[in-house]
Amino acid sequence: MGPESVRPTSETVHFRKQLQDPQHRRKFIHTFIIYFAFIALGISRAQHGPAFLDLAQITGSNVEQASVFYTSLAVGGLVGSVFMGVLIDKLAKHRQTLVAIFSLLMAASVGVIPRSKNYILTICLFGVNGLLTAAFESGGNVDILSTWGVGGKIFVQILHFVFAIGTVIGPLIAGPFLAKKKAFNVTLCDTHDISKLFNNSDGPMPGNFTENNVLLPGSCVPSESRIQYSYMIAASLNVLSGVMITAECFYGQPDTKGETRNENHRNPRVLPNWLQVLVLGNVAFFFFFNCSSTSVIYGYMMAYFVKDLGWRKEKTVNLASVCWAGFATSRLFCVLLDRVLTPRQLLYVSNGLSVLSLGGVWLSIIYESDSGIWICMVLASVGMSAIFPTILVYVEHDVMKVSGMVTSIIFVAGNLQGILNPLLIGYLFQTISYKWYIYLAFIEATLAFVFFLSTVLIVKTLVEKYGSPESKRTFDEKHMEETFIEQNQSARNDMET
């Protein structure tokens, strides 16, 4: 092996040249800061699921009442998505400032949630947190697309991969601070107090309640939850990312020429109003049911596996962490598959895997196979992981430019399900059966697949026919011309060196 074996590839040389350009270097630094912020966002988001029963215990509410926390989170998210969508289109030049402001405000909202023991106040805090989180997430996605243009789809996939890394870390941070459950002799406690405890915090009395033994979260009263420390860790990371984005806004020089060039590299196709409504309506329904299925799987994992299957909290937290790990790993593979599969093909694979895996979870529960549950839950996470970033790339490449309005519609659909779904599943849990955890997740994943197929059909038959082909050709010509100029400039620089 000689020196040729370690000779850098053309891609490595190109990357090094880009880093030598101050404007490109600034874009890379900005992107890595946003990536860190999305890791912190993932940690914050993933803690709500494991902390669900503890937050119910802290506020003295049962499962149905605590489900309103998720509803409030979604209402805030809906408002935040619309608000940020309007702001980011109106104040495009101040996009990074908006992202920095919402990052810092979001950090403050994360830390105060578990400090509240009042049920109504906690609902309000979840609403505020949902508004700020959705505004930041929406702004971050548009920011990355605007920074890199159409050629930067890999950066969008990486953005959601690092978010998934945060969701793996979140349950691991939350686990040590959760309240423990222990078995105690009923004669040590007053029966009336025990009944009151179960009615207030754990829903209906368990079926295996006997004279001699009852399963309690701790002694005769719930053991103390320390989940506020977990939320403070997440809030600290969000503060750090917010400070970094703010510092970049103050000390970084805006690249107005580069941003204009990236906007020229974005999809300029213009659709008639009726076709925009039809396409975005289908995308919204697809995203509604996909988010519904995902939120049921992750949001109520603790409630279902602890209360219906009798798993320990520690075991359920481990399952959540493994699922989020599969979620993150799959998003890493999506970055690699980006060069092999088209966005449409990747969405076919992801939706199909989600539906089949949730069907496998259903069968595993029926046949009481723990190993089947673990395998199918991880596979379902893998299927769900690629859907959100890939649908953004799919719309940007095959349909139209992903503007603030488009991201608002997608996020509104995702948050609208968060208003309706928790109310529905809370009611089903309390009045019918916890088995609706898997029934509802499977039905919603199937409906998401149906609306995805409908969207593909519309794009193939109507968008390609009624979309502006002239602007598409103009876009391609502009892209080729600017690429040619950049290559010539690089060649001149090489000759000069």
> What is the amino acid identity at position 287?
F
3-state DSSP call for residue 213?
Answer: strand
Residue 482 placed within a domain: no
d(CA 109, CA 73): 12
Per the CB < 8 A criterion, the answer to whether 373 and 364 are in contact is yes
Quote the pLDDT of residue 36.
Answer: 92
* Number of other CB atoms surrounding residue 307 within 10 Å: 19
Q: Is 22 exposed, middle or buried (0-12, 13-18, 19+ CB in 10 A)?
A: exposed
Dihedral, 373, 289, 425, 177 alpha carbons, nearest 10: 60
Per the CB < 8 A criterion, the answer to whether 229 and 177 are in contact is yes
Per the CB < 8 A criterion, the answer to whether 238 and 44 are in contact is yes
d(CA 373, CA 109): 35
Q: What angle do CA 230, 334, 292 make, to 5 degrees?
A: 55
From residue 169, alpha-carbon distances to 47, 321, 325, 391 in Å are 9, 7, 9, 25
d(CA 202, CA 183): 15
Quote the pLDDT of residue 192.
Answer: 43
The DSSP bridge pattern shows strands 213-216 and 182-185 to be antiparallel
d(CA 302, CA 314): 10
Q: What is the pLDDT along the chain (497 residues), one digit of tens a residue?
A: 444 444 444 444 455 666 666 677 788 888 899 999 999 998 988 888 788 888 888 888 887 788 888 888 888 888 887 888 778 777 777 778 888 888 899 988 888 998 888 999 999 999 999 899 988 888 888 888 777 765 666 787 788 888 878 887 888 888 888 887 544 444 444 444 444 444 444 444 444 444 334 444 444 444 677 888 989 999 999 899 889 888 887 775 555 444 544 444 555 566 777 888 888 888 889 988 988 888 888 878 888 888 888 888 888 888 887 887 888 788 778 777 767 888 888 889 889 999 999 999 999 988 888 889 999 999 998 888 878 778 877 877 777 776 667 777 777 787 787 777 877 888 888 888 888 888 999 999 999 999 999 988 888 888 777 666 544 444 444 444 444 445 555 545 554 54
Per the CB < 8 A criterion, the answer to whether 351 and 387 are in contact is yes
Find where tokens 């289908």 sit: 282
Residue 129 placed within a domain: yes
Q: CATH number, domain at 448? A: 1.20.1250.20
Per the CB < 8 A criterion, the answer to whether 284 and 139 are in contact is no
Quote the pLDDT of residue 357.
Answer: 93
Q: Half-sphere exposure (CA, 13 Å, Cβ side) for 477? A: 6
Report the number of distinct structural domains present in the chain: 1
Q: Which tokens in the block code for residue 241?
A: 């990312």
Residue 174 placed within a domain: yes
Residue 316 placed within a domain: yes
Instruction: Give kind and range of the element (H or E) at residue 182.
Output: strand 182-185
- pTM summary value: 0.63
Phi, psi of 342 (to 5 degrees): -75, 160
3-state DSSP call for residue 9?
Answer: coil
Residue 70 placed within a domain: yes
Residue 28 placed within a domain: yes
Quote the pLDDT of residue 3.
Answer: 42
Quote the pLDDT of residue 451.
Answer: 92
Quote the pLDDT of residue 467.
Answer: 64
> What is the amino acid identity at position 119?
Y
d(CA 364, CA 359): 9
d(CA 33, CA 99): 11
From residue 494, alpha-carbon distances to 291, 320, 481, 489, 497 in Å are 49, 52, 20, 9, 5
Quote the pLDDT of residue 181.
Answer: 58
Residue 197 placed within a domain: no
Quote the pLDDT of residue 353.
Answer: 92
Q: List all residues 6 or more positions away from 82 whose beta carbon is below 8 Å from its beta carbon.
A: 408, 412
Quote the pLDDT of residue 278.
Answer: 86
Residue 275 placed within a domain: yes
d(CA 190, CA 7): 77
Structural domain boundaries, residue 239: 22-179+224-474
